[in-house]
Structure 1
Amino acid sequence: MANDFNAELHARPSIKFLGPAIVEHVALMPAKFVGQHSTQAVVGASVAGDRHVSSQIEYHTEFITITVVTQLDTQPAEWPESQLSVADFQKLAATPDAELICRTSILVAGTAPREIAPVLSKLGFGDTAVSSVGQGSAHVCSDFRLHGDGSTRVVLFNQDLNASRLGRMVRRIYEIETYRAMALLGLPEARRLAPLLGDYDAKLVELSNRNLATPRSEHKRLLDDITALSAEVISATAETRNRFGATAAYAAIVDERIAELREERVEGFQRFGVFVDRRFKPAVRTCAATAVRLDQLSRATMHLIDLLQTRIQVEIEYQNSLQIKAMAERTATQIRIQRAVEGFSIIAISYYLLSLMKVVIESMKYAGYSVSPLVMLISIPVVVGAVALTILRVRHALTSGK
């Protein structure tokens, strides 16, 4: 594993060369690609019959880049036509199904002339951004327009950069273009989501208003509608999270590479980095704002669901409290009825026992035995008291048993 970490430090070597030369760099995104970090360099390779200093293939997390340096015999007065097609680059990377993300052509020329504008005009440039880079060691120029072969053209006038510094400077320039293009892959997603986000906002407002006015009988339907909106927002977030995250990461790399150029202003021209920032940052901010809106909508819908569920729960608890209160009232009534029944039971049992005693006494009279009437009078309170005491003891035993 330590070897892997150390290899990562050397995974992006710069090509070393001196001008005049034309550097062609493309970024390809295969339909199916398992990202890896590695570099394959081929020195002295020949593609489409041209003589090259080197070709380099790099495998990134989600795309492949190919850099081809063609040495020129003399500095051209016009832009040299490329002999490489997209198919040639796809063949080099062994990815015939790969989609072209960006293509950058960098013409490395000699010392910048005192008047740069006429030279840039001959090379086919329009409104051009120019910067002195590397503390005055070179001048970088581009109009950032797409040309017939789908490439963005850049001229690098080399003042006194050696082969190593020139290679690193060229790498910074084409990496700005590559990561700028990769970052902008999130912009179509942001534009696609813009009308959907407006619809989601309107639905959220409508559902929030319904949450305030919906009766209890409509709560299930309202909960279903809010859940459906939440599912749509979460699905859109899941579909675009990686893309918008990559946009932010690539934009940070673009900023780093521009800072590494150590630009200085050239009189009469807009700076290279300023041109990129003013046309690139709004798109990045659009993607970031879309990601934030999705996150806020997701949170808002979940909060609305929580509010509705809380409202339903409170109403259920209120209904439960009413049922418990009704049950308590019924229990109290049953207890009162039970106590009344117990009173009647004492009277009934006592009456039954006294009736039995009366029958016994009368039977004894017929048998010739004389029984005083006082016995019957005394037995009445005794029997009633005994029955009442017995019933109370039974009820106490049942209560204690619970």
Structure 2
Amino acid sequence: MTSDFNAELHARPSIYFTGPAFVEHIALMPSALPALHGSRYLPDGGNNDDPRTQVEHHTEFVTITRVTQLSAEIDAWPVSSLSVEDIAALVEMDTPRLISRVGILVLDSAPAELGLTLSKLGFRDTAASLIGGGAAQVCSDFRVQDDQTSRILLFNKDLNAYRLGRMVRRIYEIETYRSMALLGLPEARRLAPLLGDYDKKLVQLTNRNQTTPTTEHKKLLDEISDLSARIISAAAETRNRFGATSAYAKIVEERIGELRESHVPGFQRFGVFVARRFRPAVRTCEATALRLDQLSHATMHLIDLLQTRIQVEIEYQNAIQIQAMAERAATQVKIQRAVEGFSIIAISYYLLSLLKVAFETADHAGFHISPLVMLMSIPLVIGAVTISILRVKHALSAHD
């Protein structure tokens, strides 16, 4: 494992060379990346004039870099030595997607008439900078030619083979990572009208949340949940792409900083030209990702508000029901007490009736009983019945 980590430090070395030379760099995105990492060199013929080719496998794209030595006199832009068939054979995949193609012409120190040289090589509206602390000069108009190549001219002054190789690598990486970062821009443009619709829908649902009656809460909750699902789905589909855009943009900024640019009179700086036209696209992707995240949080917050409102209304209804139940219970207690009173009276009445019958029967049998006995039995019977009913009620309450 440690050796793998250490190998990553040396995974993508530069091709070291001296000028004049023509460097071709192609970035491709295959439909499925092979399980390869790092870089590999293809063997050349052992002659300094033979091209040296390097194939690198990155996380989601593959690059091909070829360095071809040139003669001292350059009158026109060199013709590419990489055909479509060569590219397909090098990356070992069918129909890869072209991300960027950069041609860097490396010459000796800049000529006295720079404008004339640029015009002869077909450059227009060129940006230029001194780089490497003035050790070289880079020029480009950033126009894509008919063969999908972006042309860059590098005049080497004091760079040795090692510094030249690293400097050329920084330059073509700026173009490669810039192109990879901009893959998020079509997604941002695709989402722009959808996000506008989501915003309007969210405003409508928020307003309805304030006025919707209780009977329609479920329908409103279903609509908010549907909107939230669509927003989360859009965020999930583009999260990796926008995250990659942010990561690639940082690499571009780092590579521009590593150029250590200084101004060339009469020209806009190379890095400034890239940054001014590149940052707005990156910020568009960042703003779209942020907007998706904010919409997702807003819809979830609206769902929480609606659920809270529903919960409050449920609790209010429960409180009303509990109060009604308490009132019914109180009424039942009153009824029960009234029934208990009537029960005492009824039972006492029946018992006294039985006593009366008994006294009358005894009187007919010749046993005369004083009416005072009958009168005194009335409170005794009522008291006994009352005590009995209360004891039964107490026993039932203790059992419950």
TM-score range, shorter chain: over 0.9
CA distance in 2, matches of 1:244, 1:164: 35
Query: What residue number does 2:9 align with?
Result: 9
Query: What residue number does 1:193 align with?
Result: 191
Output the amino acid matched with 1:3: S
CA distance in 1, matches of 2:24, 2:80: 8
Secondary structure at the residue paired with 1:52?
Answer: coil
Runs ≥4 in structure 1, deviation > 6 angstroms? none
Query: What residue number does 1:287 align with?
Result: 285
Change (3 A) 1:328 1:394: same
Secondary structure at the residue paired with 2:155?
Answer: strand
Q: How far off its partner does 1:51 sit?
A: 5.6
Q: How far off its partner does 1:189 sit?
A: 0.4
Alpha-carbon contact 1:75-1:109 (below 8 Å) kept: no
Query: What residue number does 1:40 align with?
Result: 40
Q: How far off its partner does 1:131 sit?
A: 0.6
Change (3 A) 1:77 1:64: same
Query: What residue number does 1:31 align with?
Result: 31
Of 253-262 and 208-217, more deviation after overlay is shown by 208-217
- How many residue pairs get aligned? The number is 399
The residue correspondences of 1:197-236 to structure 2 (distance < 5 A) are 197-236=195-234
Output the amino acid matched with 1:31: S
Of 213-222 and 358-367, more deviation after overlay is shown by 358-367
Structure 2 residue aligned with 1:368, among 362, 366, 385? 366
**Please, which runs of 5 or more residues in structure 1 have no aligned partner?**
none
Output the amino acid matched with 1:78: A
Output the amino acid matched with 1:113: P
Residue by residue over 1:189-248, the C-alpha shift from the partner in whole angstroms, topping out at 9 and shown as x without a partner, is: 001111111111111111111111111122111111111111111111111111000000
Structure 1 residue aligned with 2:294, among 283, 286, 296? 296
The residue correspondences of 1:39-78 to structure 2 (distance < 5 A) are 39-44=39-44, 52-78=50-76
Output the amino acid matched with 1:245: G
Alpha-carbon contact 1:43-1:53 (below 8 Å) kept: no
Q: How far off its partner does 1:382 sit?
A: 0.5
Q: How far off its partner does 1:45 sit?
A: 6.2
Secondary structure at the residue paired with 2:185?
Answer: helix
Q: How far off its partner does 1:37 sit?
A: 3.2
Output the amino acid matched with 2:392: V
Residue by residue over 1:258-312, the C-alpha shift from the partner in whole angstroms, topping out at 9 and shown as x without a partner, is: 0000001101101000000011001000000111111111111111111111111
Secondary structure at the residue paired with 2:239?
Answer: helix
Structure 2 residue aligned with 1:313, among 282, 297, 311? 311
Q: CA RMSD in A?
A: 1.5
Structure 1 residue aligned with 2:398, among 389, 393, 400? 400
The residue correspondences of 1:3-402 to structure 2 (distance < 5 A) are 3-33=3-33, 37-44=37-44, 52-402=50-400
Q: Kindly, what percent of the aligned residue pairs are identical?
A: 67
Q: How far off its partner does 1:75 sit?
A: 3.6
CA distance in 2, matches of 1:77, 1:266: 24
What is the TM-score with the length of structure 2 in the denominator? Answer: 0.97
What is the TM-score with the length of structure 1 in the denominator? Answer: 0.96
Of 84-93 and 203-212, more deviation after overlay is shown by 84-93
Residue by residue over 1:34-74, the C-alpha shift from the partner in whole angstroms, topping out at 9 and shown as x without a partner, is: 6753111124169xxx9634111111111111111111133
Output the amino acid matched with 1:313: Q
